[in-house]
A = this chain, B = another copy of it.
Amino acid sequence: MALTIGDLGKATGTKVETIRYYERIGLLPQPSRTAGNYRAYGEAELGRLSFVRRARDLGFSLDQVRALLKLSDDRSQDCARVDRIASEHLREVDRKLADLSALRRELKAVIDSCNGGTVADCRVIEALGPASQG
C-alpha cells in the first residue's frame, strides 16, 4: 500500500532526486520510514506532490508554491490571497512574454539580414558588433 520514493516519482513524473530535494527544502514533509529506512508515502503525499508539480508546471516559483501549499492547508482562508499570488505570477508571465517576443523580433531581423557570404560581410556578426549599438 505504501509507495516507495520511486513509485511516487513515477506516479507524478518527478525524479527521485527532486523529491528528496523538495523534502530537504521543506516543500514536502518528511515521510515515515520502513524498517530498512526507506521513505514510505501514502495518498496525502501523492496529492501534495501532484499539487507542487502542477504549480511548477504553471511556472510558480518554489517560494510561491510554498505559499500556495500553506494557504491550501488552511481551507478557511480567504481565497483572495491565493488569487493575489496567482495574479502576480500572471503579470510576471506577461512581462516575460513581452520581453521574449521583442527579443524574437530583433533576432529575426538580424538573421533575415544575412545574405550568406563570408563572416566578413555577415550581417549577423555586424549587427552584434560595437559599431551598430544604436
Interface residues of A (CB under 8 A from B): 46-47, 50-51, 54-55, 57-59, 68, 71-72, 74-80, 82-83, 86-87, 89-90, 93-94, 96-97, 100-101, 103-104, 106-108, 110-111, 114, 116-122, 124-125, 127-130, 133
* A45 to B: closest C-beta gap in Å: 10
A-B complex: 4 closest residue pairs judged by Cβ atoms: A75-B120, A50-B130, A79-B122, A47-B130
- With known contacts A82-B122, A90-B107, A108-B90, A133–B54 Cβ distance under 8 A: yes
Given A54-B128, A79-B116, A97-B100, 13 additional A-B pairs, CB 8 A: A46-B130, A50-B133, A58-B106, A58-B107, A72-B129, A75-B118, A79-B124, A83-B116, A86-B111, A90-B108, A94-B104, A97-B104, A100-B100
A93 smallest CB distance to B (angstroms): 5
